[in-house]
């Protein structure tokens, strides 16, 4: 019996029957849930996961093919991690690329003139419904100080920001020196997409499948 071929490799929507749901807690961002899910053989099993609003992230490249990275403390990991500018999808009705532009401005003080969708991922689909869209931003420039109207707080209050050559960022991701999943995914995707000058990338407002 033959199985799927490479032409069938595309994620598709699917939802198995849920016979009950228990919500264990709701916090500022996430909710902990257990669903009782009917398996294909009819057995009902519990699946625990976290409900999350989703996120966006930005690979910002300058005209020297350098990527903008920032360092942020992540308490669950007990690490200072080098990351992409990123944030929650927490503004109702905001287009994703505009949310990404807002995060780029607030976290790094930069804006970009050219935007593309780089890659879409589920961050940890075995334990969370969080999906993230990572954008490629080019024609990047600093925002004049007089136009900045926000205050960084908490983990964002003192984040160093550096420009790293894209090829060097790839080397550091593959060498185990960069661990944040959005950063690793975005860096490798941008490097791959650069092979054709980013011509194959989707527009910034491409729909999510």
Q: What share of the chain is helix, strand, coil (3-state, %, to 5)?
A: 20, 40, 40
CB 115 within 8 A of CB 137: yes
**Structure token pair of residue 155:** 């983990």
Task: Report H helices in 12-143.
Answer: 96-108
Distance CA 36, CA 32 (A): 14
CB 106 within 8 A of CB 91: no
Give the position of tokens 């996961």: 49
Least Cα distance to 20 among 3, 43, 45 occurs for 45
CB 140 within 8 A of CB 62: yes
For this structure, is 156 an active site residue? yes
Catalytic residue among 155, 156, 168, 208: 156
The DSSP call for residue 128 is B
Assign residue 19 a region (left: φ > 0; alpha: ψ between -120 and 50; beta: otherwise).
alpha
Least Cα distance to 134 among 83, 79, 72, 73 occurs for 83
Q: List the catalytic residues.
A: 156
């Amino acid at each position: 019996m033959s199985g799927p071929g490479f032409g069938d490799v595309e994620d598709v929507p699917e939802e198995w029957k849920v016979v009950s749901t228990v919500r264990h807690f709701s916090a500022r961002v996430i909710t902990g849930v257990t669903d009782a899910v009917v398996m294909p053989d009819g057995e009902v099993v519990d699946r625990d996961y976290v409900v999350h609003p989703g996120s966006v992230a930005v690979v910002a490249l300058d005209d020297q093919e350098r990527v903008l990275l920032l360092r942020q403390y992540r308490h669950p990991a007990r690490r200072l991690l080098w990351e992409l500018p990123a944030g929650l999808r927490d503004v109702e009705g905001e287009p994703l690329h505009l949310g990404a532009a807002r995060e780029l401005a607030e976290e790094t003080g930069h804006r970009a003139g050219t935007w593309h969708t780089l890659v879409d991922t589920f961050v940890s689909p075995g334990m969370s419904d969080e999906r993230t869209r990572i954008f490629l931003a080019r024609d990047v420039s600093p925002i004049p100080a007089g136009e900045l109207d926000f205050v960084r707080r908490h983990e964002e209050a003192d984040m160093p920001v550096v420009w790293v050559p894209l090829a060097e960022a790839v080397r550091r991701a593959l060498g185990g020196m960069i661990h944040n999943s959005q950063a690793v995914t975005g860096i490798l995707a941008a490097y791959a997409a650069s092979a054709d000058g980013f011509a194959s990338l989707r527009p910034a407002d491409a729909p999510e499948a």
